[in-house]
Homo-oligomer: A and B are copies of this chain.
């Protein structure tokens, strides 16, 4: 690799680390519960996020749902559990993952202001690299009219 290529690679890398910088959403269990959904086998997203999930919004995200536009600092959590289907009841099993989307229009400019991360519930560590984060946003782009958010607040 030539020096100029190495330099180009470093530059490219330097433009990406902000994407990885979504922090673990400490305290989210006390945020507002937006809604829940169960994804069963056969759903297109089952392999990625199958099970029972709950969405939580911090105060800025709650305001964002109502305004239709999310301010910097808004964070939405997708809290995912194993679905335990037994005796005609589906209840929560072990937590599978904690998914986050966080708004920072400067840090996440390349993805319309949204950063994404998937945290391991045991270690609290994120597993998404820049490529995977961009993949998240590729799907969320379909929701451009709702500031790239799929869920909606209901009373």
A: residues with CB less than 8 A from B are 29-30, 32-33, 35-43, 46, 52, 54, 56, 87-92, 154-155
Q: How far is the CA of A56 from the CA of B43 in the complex (A)?
A: 28
The answer to whether A155 and B88 touch across the interface, beta carbons within 8 angstroms, is: no
The answer to whether A35 and B92 touch across the interface, beta carbons within 8 angstroms, is: yes
Which chain B residue shows the least CB distance to A87?
Answer: B43
A49 nearest CB across to chain B (Å): 11
Contacts of A33 in B (CB 8 A): 29, 33, 54, 56
Which chain B residue shows the least CB distance to A41?
Answer: B88
Contacts of A43 in B (CB 8 A): 87-89
Contacts of A29 in B (CB 8 A): 32-33, 155
The answer to whether B56 and A89 touch across the interface, beta carbons within 8 angstroms, is: no
